[in-house]
Amino acid sequence: MKFDSKTRLYGILGDPISHTLSPVMHNAAFAAVNYPGVYLAFEVKDLAGALTGAKALDLKGLSVTIPYKVKALDLVDKLDDTARRIGALNTIINRNGNLYGFNSDSPGAMAALAEKTTIKDKNVAIIGAGGAARALAYGVKSQGGSLSIYNRSLPKARQLASELDVSFFPLLEFGNKQCDILINTTSVGMTPNYDNMAVAPQTLNKNMVVMDIVYNPLKTALLKQADKIGCVIIDGVSMFVYQGALQFEMWTGIKAPVDIMRESVLNALK
């Protein structure tokens, strides 16, 4: 692709950021539709400063990842109602110098789950209480799932559970209660710590649907163990691609080349 002064700049803000495949996915999408854009990864220590810089440099759109999905809420100029209800954002659009915050994680995750299971009336356990957990919890609750939050930090779990009027428990208590769907929203198991699991292997059973939003590695230790005992598993690539496709469409107004985006991520993971 040709890059010049008219090239539109996009990026992802996070810390750490070296693991991300968002540039691979979005640049493949830009190239596929011949869109004059480029997408870069920025490891950011000062989120407020980075967003001020994004305005000054006229970045057209941003992804926001760990640990800034909640903090960014107070730093954008306008916030979508759904992102406000979730209490986290992962997508920013720059419209004439005003930053608008959205959340594509929630619909992206629900699309990934819908490929393998239904949510209504299912007992769903979410591991974690951060920005991604908020998006997943909001989606599960809106689709009629019976939700429980498990987290190491009880104050964060209590806050999220209170907002959604659902149950919360210490992470160590997972396994004491039945669940139909288990979703790990933490970074446990992410490269390079790919041998780690958020829950003990013996707490899994073959009747569960197990989803891990970590996509690098493609098959985390949690998913390997779940697959071994016969669970239906959902890897993080599906959610990653679906949420990215929604971002792409919000930024460009062009239908996302979903298959190409998925293929680019899978090829990178190989």
Enzyme catalytic residues: 69
Distance CA(267)–CA(244), nearest Å, equals 16
Specify whether the CB–CB gap between 79 and 89 falls below 8 A: yes
Q: Which letter does DSSP use for residue 117 in this model?
A: -
Specify whether the CB–CB gap between 244 and 25 falls below 8 A: yes
What tokens appear for 106 in the block?
């929630």
- Cβ atoms within 10 Å, residue 124: 26
Whether the bond into 217 is cis, omega within 30 of 0: yes
- The C-alpha angle 201, 127, 187, rounded to 5 degrees, equals 85
Sheet hosting strand 98-102, strand order edge to edge? 37-43, 8-14, 61-64, 91-95, 98-102, 78-79
- Cβ atoms within 10 Å, residue 5: 4
Residues in the chain: 270
What tokens appear for 148 in the block?
């429980």
- Helices 258-269 + 236-252 axis angle, to 10: 130
Residue 182 one-letter amino acid: L
Name every residue whose Cβ is closer than 8 Å to that of residue 270 and which is 6 or more positions away in sequence.
Answer: none
